[in-house]
Amino acid sequence: MSETVALNATHDPALRSWVPSANSAGTDFPIQNLPFAAIRRAGSGEAFRGGVAIGDEVLDLGALHTLAPFTGIAAQALAACAAPALNALMGQGAAAASALRATISAGLRAGAAQERAWRSLLVPRSAIEYRVPADIGDFTDFYASIHHATAVGRLMRPDNPLLPNYKWIPIAYHGRASSVRVSGFAFRRPRGQLLPKGVTVPFLGPSRRLDYELEVGIFVGRPNELGTSVSLAQAEAHVFGLCLLNDWSARDIQGWEYQPLGPFLAKNFATTVSPWVVTLEALAPFRAPLSRPVDEPPPVAYLDGESNRVGGAIDVTLEAAIETQKMRAAGIPAHALSRSNFRDSWWTPGQMLAHHTVNGCNLAAGDLLGTGTQSGPEPSQAGSLLELTLAGAQPIALPGGESRTFLEDGDRVILRGWCARAGFARIGFGEAAGTVLPAVPPDAS
């Protein structure tokens, strides 16, 4: 496994911060986490810049940079955080991000001499607004959960649910980067060509089978040149960190258009990411063996390696919840639809990145990879309504007397993720939330 995932002093579960909320049980953002985001004060019109979450506060890295508190590689990484997006920081590579994270960790620890100077640089998270963490040049969405692929395949091909290439190739499609938005974004129900059962001529209309997808996002760090590939052994050195990702999907549009080239209008209308990017380094205590049945053949050689087998997976609990318009009006809290775990993925982040570049494809700092819907082995662990409702045949009961097969206007879907392991601090990802608005009328311009 690469050096970026080695345990170090920043993972010490005994660490405490002079920021009291960072020491609270159950916080997503203890001092052992320190995720990065692009932030500014809400409603200020200020330029965006880098920030680090610490408990209920955000350390303003743009303001910290003006103090010139660091030297060497950490200073170079901090300077990159003064930009409106995190691409430059991501592109400096894992060593730079690690140096910056270690230096920030030291300054936020209880008893640190930096407390007096840094306290004024904290902004409450409740007073912050975000943008997408990086300027995303390209977005690729994988299909890395074998449980999701099998469940969906069973709905469409009961006798042959899993296509023969699935266990050998990290399947993916190229999505649209321009419609990736940060958590809190509300989007309009998409319109497209539909061909419902029993209809012989397609027609244009709003999707009635709108769905969410519970995914993990992977932000690329150090780039590779066009015509070069990244080996599996080096792949994680090209990953900056992970976030939550919802690749919203219009299943009825998808069913008509996806053959033979795959998704288009069914998925290019909106993708939601969480604002906070958790570095691979912060996730080091939660590495897990790649889980595959013992009778499965090993992957093709370029996708196989001892370190990937031993610790290529990451133990991240993932949850999807729904809040309908009626629930909000009644004060009913969001209802959890399902939980799954990223460790059950058939392909690891390293394998996805290595496969993406094996043909010489160049990835740039800030490019985004989605893992595809992360479903677990049990039906209740499905990461989409398509699976949970058996393609609409089995409605889900919600608090307040409502039910859902697919999403309705006004529905808000909230993704959450966290890592927990005995002997280590809990690490969270925050939220990726989005709300469905009514479709644009056909004659709107």
| Superfamily designation of domain 3-131 | Fumarylacetoacetase, N-terminal domain (2.30.30.230)
Nearest to 97 by CA among 230, 217, 239, 1: 239
Q: Which residues, other chains included, contact 141 with Cβ-Cβ below 8 Å and sequence gap of 6+?
A: 172, 173, 174, 175, 215, 247, 267, 369, 370, 372
Tens of each residue's pLDDT in the chain, 445 residues: 343 468 999 999 999 999 999 999 999 999 999 999 999 999 999 999 999 999 999 999 999 999 999 999 999 999 999 999 999 999 999 999 999 999 999 999 999 999 999 999 999 999 999 999 999 999 999 999 999 999 998 988 888 888 889 999 999 999 999 999 999 999 999 999 999 999 999 999 999 999 999 999 999 999 999 999 999 999 999 999 999 999 999 999 999 999 888 899 999 999 999 999 999 999 999 999 998 898 998 999 999 999 999 999 999 999 999 999 999 999 999 999 999 999 999 999 999 999 999 999 999 999 999 999 999 999 999 999 999 999 999 999 999 999 999 999 999 999 999 999 999 999 999 999 999 999 987 765 5
Contact 154, 333 (CB under 8 A): no
Q: What are the backbone angles phi and psi of residue 396, rounded to the nearest 5°?
A: -100, 130
Q: What are the backbone angles phi and psi of residue 242, rounded to the nearest 5°?
A: -120, 155
Q: How far apart are CA 369 and CA 342, in angstroms?
A: 14
Angle between helical axes of 94-108 and 72-80 (0-180°, round to 10):
100
Catalytic positions: 148
Contact 40, 47 (CB under 8 A): yes
Q: Which residues, other chains included, contact 373 with Cβ-Cβ below 8 Å and sequence gap of 6+?
A: 145, 148, 213, 214, 215, 247, 383, 384, 387
| Beta strand pairing call for 57-60 and 172-175 | unpaired
Residue with tokens 């290595």: 354
- What pTM did the predictor assign? 0.96
Query: Does the N-terminal peptide bond of residue 35 adopt cis geometry, omega within 30 degrees of 0?
Result: no
Fold type of domain 139-437: Fumarylacetoacetate hydrolase; domain 2 (3.90.850)
How far lies 19's CA from each of 55, 58, 63, 331, in Å? 7, 10, 18, 31
In what helix (H) or strand (E) does residue 239 lie, and over which residues does it extend? strand 239-246
Residue with tokens 């009291």: 20
So where are the chain's domains? 3-131, 139-437
